[in-house]
């Protein structure tokens, strides 16, 4: 099978008869089986996918196929798909079968995307390495001794290994963008509320957003265009009109950009020197191409990680209270009382990182600490959003690294939660501010692994963000020619 970079390339071959949708599914399944050591897939349903593919192929023949015909997709194991297992990579949801299909998945399927199966992730999307899954760590397809990033590591690994063309992830603090960076992909987190969260298992409800992992900015725009929009089942889904993102992307890619680079991110002592040098080289090429670059400052940078972890753990402690061993999922055996049943079911069902975050969240919400931690963090979040939007008044996008380094080795940070949390130092900013952000491959490090650059944009101006990303994607491609 061809190593397709865009859906447009697949659809061209389908139109010319060089391949069929069922043959694409079969090829992806064969590759997934051959790369089983990655542990990216929790399950795939070849028969159901082939049945979907046959229907899409028939519609292609009749000229009635949807805009995503030919796209074979994997979905992160926190996104509901009716009649399929759903576990959030946790033992607490052992044996659970989803009763609904997420709005985002419904819209993709209606546009003729084929859903292949569900992908491994950090338990309840809590992690930066995909080592927290109850079903084992996921490995980076570019170097299996390394992590793929988290929490959407299975989604990133599956796409990078070409076991599906694209994948859905969820992004609470960088869980789409950081894995994209570690695996050399494009990772898009839209504005909070741009895509319905109906059918997405909640971690931090005011942060969570479904995002995409693709090989190109073009495909990210096409997927967003299908999924975005209001949803009566989700009151946080925005009623903002959905523009033609692919068309907007191209229009904005054809004009000069105003780019603000956040100096504090480049000055950070934790940033790998090679990534810093690559960022500076990119900025030089953009300036030479006629774009305006200006230094901007974000003095709140030291507070983004602590603010993020106070607020998200507080929300997690509330959201995960529903998993009690009573209604569904894992239930402890031979408990002597209802209190013991709750305690034992949750102790047995939740992994160490999830338990750590629940305890931290319960602490910051508890009497005597709520004002000192949670309320103060909410004030800081408001300051972060306000200052970020002020910076974006004079810039089309903000430019930062995506991650401070390349993919680290399995086990390297698993014993040090603080070091692990600092992997998100550049990505949590966009979630705290509720703005869209995208990660793009930047180059290769001397260790042979990909590096990445991040762009952040104004709320609901994904067209401009995607156009800017497309321009940078083209600039980087041209520099390699």
What angle do helix axes 352-365 and 301-319 make, rounded to 10 degrees? Answer: 100
Which residue is it, tokens 């995503």?
68
Please tell me the distance from the alpha carbon of residue 402 to that of residue 427, in angstroms, as a whole number.
6
**What is residue 250's three-state secondary structure?**
helix
Tokens matching residue 12 = 């061209």
Distance linking the first and last C-alpha atoms of the chain = 25
| Phi, psi angles (nearest 5°) of residue 72 | -105, 125
What angle do helix axes 103-110 and 217-227 make, rounded to 10 degrees? Answer: 110
**Residue tagged active-site, from 133, 151, 423, 468:** 151
Which residue is it, tokens 């793929």?
148
Within a 10 A sphere around the Cβ of 333, how many other Cβ atoms? Answer: 8
| Phi, psi angles (nearest 5°) of residue 210 | -70, 135
**Residue tagged active-site, from 90, 98, 152, 175:** 175
**What is residue 445's three-state secondary structure?**
coil
Q: Phi-psi region for residue 244, left (φ > 0), alpha (ψ -120 to 50) or beta?
A: beta
Please tell me the distance from the alpha carbon of residue 3 to that of residue 71, in angstroms, as a whole number.
13
DSSP label of 26 = H
CB 187 within 8 A of CB 156: yes
Active site residue 189: no
Tokens matching residue 453 = 């650059």
Angle among Cα 74, 146, 86 to the nearest 5 degrees reads 30
CB 362 within 8 A of CB 346: no
Residues involved in catalysis: 76, 151, 175
């Amino acid at each position: 099978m061809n190593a397709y970079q865009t859906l447009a390339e697949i659809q061209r071959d389908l139109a010319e008869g060089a391949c069929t949708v069922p043959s694409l599914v079969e090829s992806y399944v064969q590759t997934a089986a051959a790369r089983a050591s990655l542990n990216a897939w929790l399950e795939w349903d070849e028969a159901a996918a082939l049945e979907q593919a046959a229907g899409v192929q028939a519609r292609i023949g009749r000229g009635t196929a949807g805009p995503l015909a030919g796209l074979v997709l994997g979905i992160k194991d926190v996104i509901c798909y009716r009649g399929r297992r759903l576990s959030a990579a946790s033992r607490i949801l052992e044996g659970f079968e989803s009763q609904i299909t997420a709005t985002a998945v419904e819209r993709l399927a209606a546009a003729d995307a084929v859903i292949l199966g569900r992908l491994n992730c950090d338990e309840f999307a809590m992690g930066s390495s995909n080592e927290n899954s109850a079903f084992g760590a996921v490995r980076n397809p570019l170097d299996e001794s390394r992590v793929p990033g988290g929490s959407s590591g299975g989604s990133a690994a599956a796409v990078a290994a070409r076991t599906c063309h694209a994948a859905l992830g969820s992004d609470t603090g960088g869980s789409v963008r950081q894995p994209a960076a570690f695996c050399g992909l494009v990772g898009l987190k839209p504005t909070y509320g741009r895509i319905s969260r109906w059918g997405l298992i909640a971690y931090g409800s005011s942060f969570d957003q479904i995002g995409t992992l693709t090989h190109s900015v073009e495909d990210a725009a096409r997927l967003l265009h299908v999924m975005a929009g209001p949803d009566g089942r989700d009151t946080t889904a925005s009623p903002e009109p959905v523009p033609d993102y692919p068309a907007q992307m191209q229009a904005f890619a054809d004009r000069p950009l105003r780019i603000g680079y956040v100096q504090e991110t480049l000055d950070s002592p934790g940033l790998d020197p090679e990534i810093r040098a690559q960022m500076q080289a990119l900025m030089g090429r953009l300036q030479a191409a006629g774009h305006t670059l200006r230094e901007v400052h974000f003095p709140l940078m030291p507070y983004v990680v602590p603010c993020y972890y106070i607020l998200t753990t507080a929300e997690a402690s509330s959201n995960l209270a529903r998993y009690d061993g009573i209604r569904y999922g894992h239930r402890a055996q031979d408990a002597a009382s209802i209190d013991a049943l709750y305690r034992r079911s949750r102790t047995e069902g939740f992994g160490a990182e999830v338990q750590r975050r629940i305890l931290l969240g319960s602490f910051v919400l508890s009497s005597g600490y709520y004002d000192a931690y949670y309320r103060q963090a909410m004030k800081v979040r408001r300051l972060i959003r306000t200052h970020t939007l002020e910076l974006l008044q004079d810039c089309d996008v903000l430019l930062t690294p995506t991650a401070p380094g390349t993919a680290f080795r399995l086990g390297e940070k698993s014993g040090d939660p603080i070091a692990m949390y600092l992997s998100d130092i550049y990505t949590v900013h966009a979630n705290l501010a509720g703005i869209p952000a995208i990660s793009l491959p930047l180059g290769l490090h001397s260790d042979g692994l990909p590096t990445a650059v991040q762009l952040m944009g104004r709320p609901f101006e994904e067209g401009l963000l995607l156009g800017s990303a497309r321009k940078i994607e083209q600039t980087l491609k041209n520099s390699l020619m």
